[in-house]
Structure formats: structure tokens, C-alpha cells
Copies of this chain bind each other. A is one copy, B any other.
Amino acid sequence: MRMREFKLIERASKIFSIQRDDIIVAAGEHDAAIVKIGNRSVVLTTDNLHEKADFPESMLPEEVGHMALAVNLSDLAACGAKPLHFLYTITIREGIDDEFFERILYGMQKLAKKYDVAVVGGDIDFGDELYISGFAVGVVDRIVTQANARIGDRVYLTGLLGKAQLSLEQLFSGMDREEIAYPQSLFTPEPKVVEGIEIAKHANSMTDISDSLAVSLNLIAKKSNVSIVLNGDLIPLEHLTEFVSLNKALELFLYAGGDYELVYTSKEKSYGFEIGEVVEGEGVWIKKGDKISRVEFRGYSHM
């Protein structure tokens, strides 16, 4: 769990706290900031990746470029924003030649084209480690954040979880990238851009799975002053129990990050499947038969 990160983000939110008409959702309150520019609601987000923390050794340069854009697009998707523009900074280390650099950009551009994102700027410098920061700009028509889940909403998830972390652990255990269960989840995760835009038309709250489903739902519950109860019978684990025990599978599903899915609460469903409901109270819980247990506020980043 990145507890220090959460603490520092909270400090930062206080330091940069601002009341201004054009700031709809500010730093630290959601996956991205939402501001008013002219006649549009604009979503701004930034994410930083670096080699030692975020890129498995066997990751191809095209996948590094894909990832740098994908994490930012996922933040926009979490707001239901249509992505428009992207900028990056890249720090190149010794051993990264011009070809490697270009392959990173080709990977970025391939994903950008898919979602009609214009890569309009960048900054290049040189250092000891490969760093890529991304900055994405999008627009929304209807504002959906983590803060408005309503009693009686159902909780929906756009896809299966735990695949990225399972694959990473397989990689660490010595498997080749060809042997792991879900290489695409680990190396070229797909941000749920199209889904996010549709879901934002009806959802009361939404976020993406950055750290874990547990963190995402706890944030929604806390910011919306509600409780969320997951129905254990609705949680699909077959894609994991094929490889690990049932206990481990549930742990991965609830507490692993890196899967780029969206979770939302709504009175209706457009994408995904139901996993629980919003009720009065506090915290996040999982119910299986007669047993109810707390879903803790923790997760692990995927490396």
C-alpha cells in the first residue's frame, strides 16, 4: 500500500487548496482535475512512470510508450472524458538509442490513433533512468466523480480483475513473457475510454482501478458517505483459480492493481457486470453466504 503517497497527496491538496469559479474538481479529490475553460468542462490528468517501478524488464519499448499514454487515458476514462490531447516528458538513460526511443513513441502513437488523441507536445532530457510523465486533456459533458454514489445504486465493474498482478507474479517467479496467463493485461492494458464515455451518461459515481478495487470502492464510499456491500457470489474468480488458490484469487481480485477497468455505481447498467450495492453506512464489505467481512483500504501497485 502506498500509504506515504496518500498522505503526501492529502498534504498537497491542503497546500494547493483554492476556491475559484473555474475549478470544478481540484487536486486530490478525484482521478483527475476538472476545470472550466471557455464553454467546456475540461479534464486534466498527469501520471508518472519510471523503469524501476513500472516497467518489467521484458517490456518492449512500444509497450512502454503504450503504457505511458494508457495510464493517463484510464484517468480520463474514470471521469467519462473524451480524450483530446496528450503531452509527455521523457528522460532517456544511457543505453537507450534513437531506435529504442522511436519505438517508445510508435507505441504511444498507435494507442493515440486508436482513440483519436493528438500527441501535441513533449520534452526530452537525459538522466540515469528511463522516466516518462504523461499529461492528458479531455472534455466531459456530464461530471461524474467518486463523490456521488447513492443509496440503492448497484455497483458495476467493466471487466475481470487480478490479471495484471497474477501475470506479474508469474513473470517474477521465472516464467517467460510468452508463458504468463495474461500478457496483454500486463504489457498493453486497454484503457476503457469508450466505456467511460457511455457510463458517464448515467452513473452516479465512477473511478478506475488504479491501486485495487478495494481502494477504488473505499474512496467512493468515503467521498459519497455511503457503504458498499459486495456480493461474493457475483465475483468471478475462474480466470484466476485456474492458476492460484481460491483465497489467493480473491486477494488478487480485491487488492491488486493494474487492470485498467472501471467501477461505477448506478441505477442502470451499460457496460460490465454487477458485483454489489450501495447501502447506508460506511466502509466496504463483502458478503458470502452468512459471512460478512470488511474490504480494507489497501492495494498494491503492480511492481
Measured CB to CB, the residues of A under 8 A from B are 4-5, 7-9, 11-12, 15-16, 18, 20, 22-23, 26-28, 32-33, 35, 37-40, 42, 44-48, 50, 52-53, 84-85, 87-92, 98, 101-102, 105-106, 109, 112, 118-129, 131, 133, 135, 137, 139
Contacts and interface: CB of A to CB of B under 8 A. Distances in A.
29 contacts: A4-B126, A7-B98, A8-B98, A8-B101, A11-B102, A15-B106, A15-B109, A16-B112, A18-B119, A23-B120, A27-B87, A28-B121, A28-B122, A32-B121, A33-B121, A35-B85, A38-B40, A46-B89, A46-B122, A46-B135, A48-B90, A50-B91, A53-B127, A89-B133, A91-B131, A127-B129, A128-B129, A129-B129, A135-B135
Given A37-B37, A102-B15, A128-B128, A85 B44 contact: yes
B46 A123 contact: yes
Contact of A39 (B9, B38, B46, B106): B38
B137 A44 contact: yes
A210 B156 CA distance: 49
Contacts of A22: 84, 118
B44 A87 contact: yes
Contact of A47 (B50, B98, B123, B137): B123
Given A27-B119, A121-B32, A16 B109 contact: yes
Given A35-B84, A38-B40, A124 B53 contact: no
A301 to B, nearest CB: 9
A46 to B, nearest CB: 4
A299 to B, nearest CB: 15
A220 to B, nearest CB: 19
A33 B85 contact: yes
Contacts of A50: 91, 125, 127, 131
A7 B124 CA distance: 10
Contact of A128 (B8, B52, B120, B122): B52
Given A11-B98, A32-B121, A44-B87, 17 more contacts: A5-B124, A7-B98, A8-B92, A11-B102, A23-B120, A26-B120, A33-B85, A33-B120, A35-B137, A38-B38, A46-B87, A46-B135, A48-B89, A127-B129, A128-B128, A128-B129, A133-B133
Contacts of A98: 7-8, 11
A137 B37 contact: yes
A133 B46 contact: yes
Nearest to A126: B53
B122 A53 contact: no
Given A84-B37, A89-B46, A16 B105 contact: yes
A125 to B, nearest CB: 6
Nearest to A31: B121
